[in-house]
Structure 1
Amino acid sequence: MKQAVLGSAFAPAYSILCENDRDAAERETLLDRVMGPRRKSKSSEKLRRGRLPADGLAFIAREPEGRMIGTVRLWNVSLGNTDVNALLLGPLAVVEECAGQGVGAALMLHAIAEARRLEHLAILLVGDAGYYGRFGFSADLTAALSMPGPYETNRFLALELVPGALSHASGVLYPSGRKAVVRSRVA
């Protein structure tokens, strides 16, 4: 399991870990708490529904005591009618009491580094350009792309991990990658 321990004199230490199956309920509770009940109605969620995150690209941040304080996942998507595959980032969430302490930035940098190490071409997301711009994300790279469903075009951003990876990409994003296995309950 990959782990990065981070912290400073001003912020508690925390570790960034690969997410595992035991983290699911705690992650969902964190996301509900941070993002609210409407999070499942977003266009990005349509691309994640029924899928598993990209292999090796789901991370959590935990305090030394074991409490989960942040999460980020990347998902496989295909770009329109092209043969270009990319990743969709999200959601990125940090518990309110740790906001502004660098946990989200550390999760972002870790996710980007791992995606690059695994030789993915690009990462897309819907989010605040002011926040994500510092990591290299730009709306300029998504001009010929669109999300399925409503979204704000100025918040649809991309980062090329390989220069020029999105230069010929166009069309609507659609989900790709591994499908989630639905376990039926036996009465």
Structure 2
Amino acid sequence: MVTIRPETAADIPARELLLDRAFGKARRRKTSERLREGRVPADGLAFTAVDGKGRLVGTVRLWNVIAGSAGPALLLGPVAVDARHQNKGIGKSLMAHAINTARVLGHGAILLVGDAPYYSRFGFDGGLTRSLHLPGPVERARFLGLELEQGALDGAEGLVSAAGVAAAPAEAVVAA
């Protein structure tokens, strides 16, 4: 049995190890990382999946960004599930939980860079980000958006930039 709960400070070492295993050390050089570095996740939007023994087996976090002319939005990622626990619906549960919580908290849109066939099942669409761009290289087909409020990304254009709360120096090191 897996439980999804808010991330705690005690989760950080296991989360970082999971992300390194899932994405490699090069994960810190990705364009999306430019929007996360030096920031803390959006309030109430960092989640951990733990197994019946309390071991971290999955993670997802959302970050405050400005989606060009559309204004405030969220950036989802990274989402990861431990290799031994994949194909059990944990990633799907983490995504659904994150999206639903963001909607309940009143956020209008979520952006991400990821596999379009996977994320389209949650409603993410590359057409919503057509006129937005990120602060670095990204495969255009992987830059996706989801409107939590109808029209939240209508006419959105311009640079996606970081927003939200800056991390304290110690938090910035482990927030990636």
Task: Tell whether 2:166 aligns with 1:179.
Answer: yes
Task: Tell whether 2:34 aligns with 1:46.
Answer: yes
Residues 101-152 of structure 1: CA deviation (Å, up to 9, x unaligned) = 1000000000000000000000000000000000000001000101110100
How far does residue 25 in structure 1 lie from its aligned partner after superposition?
A: 1.2
Partner of 2:122: 135
**Does structure 1 conserve the Cα–Cα contact (< 8 Å) formed by 2:57 and 2:82?**
yes
C-alpha distance in structure 2 between counterparts of 1:183 and 1:141, whole Å: 35
Instruction: Show structure 1 runs of 4+ deviating over 4 A.
Output: none
Identity %: 53
Name which of structure 1's ranges 16-25 and 113-122 shifts more when overlaid on structure 2. Answer: 16-25
Partner of 2:72: 85
SS in 2 for 1:61: strand
The Cα RMSD (Å) is 1.1
How far does residue 83 in structure 1 lie from its aligned partner after superposition?
A: 5.5
SS in 2 for 1:154: helix
Match of 2:135 among 145, 148, 163: 148
Partner of 1:167: 154
C-alpha distance in structure 2 between counterparts of 1:133 and 1:79, whole Å: 19
SS in 1 for 2:59: strand
**Does structure 1 conserve the Cα–Cα contact (< 8 Å) formed by 2:131 and 2:157?**
yes
- TM-score in terms of structure 1 length: 0.89
Task: Tell whether 2:19 aligns with 1:31.
Answer: yes
The one-letter code of the counterpart of 1:164 is G
**Does structure 1 conserve the Cα–Cα contact (< 8 Å) formed by 2:134 and 2:160?**
yes
Task: Tell whether 2:111 aligns with 1:120.
Answer: no
Partner of 1:110: 97
Partner of 2:174: none
- TM-score in terms of structure 2 length: 0.95
C-alpha distance in structure 1 between counterparts of 2:155 and 2:125, whole Å: 16
The one-letter code of the counterpart of 2:113 is V
**Does structure 1 conserve the Cα–Cα contact (< 8 Å) formed by 2:111 and 2:143?**
yes
The one-letter code of the counterpart of 1:24 is I
- Determine which structure has more spread, i.e. the larger CA radius of gyration: 1
SS in 1 for 2:14: helix
Which structure's relative contact order is higher, taking Cα pairs within 8 Å and 6+ residues apart?
Answer: 2
Gaps of at least 5 residues in structure 2 are: 172-176
The one-letter code of the counterpart of 2:129 is T
Bigger share in helix: 2
Q: How many residues align?
A: 171
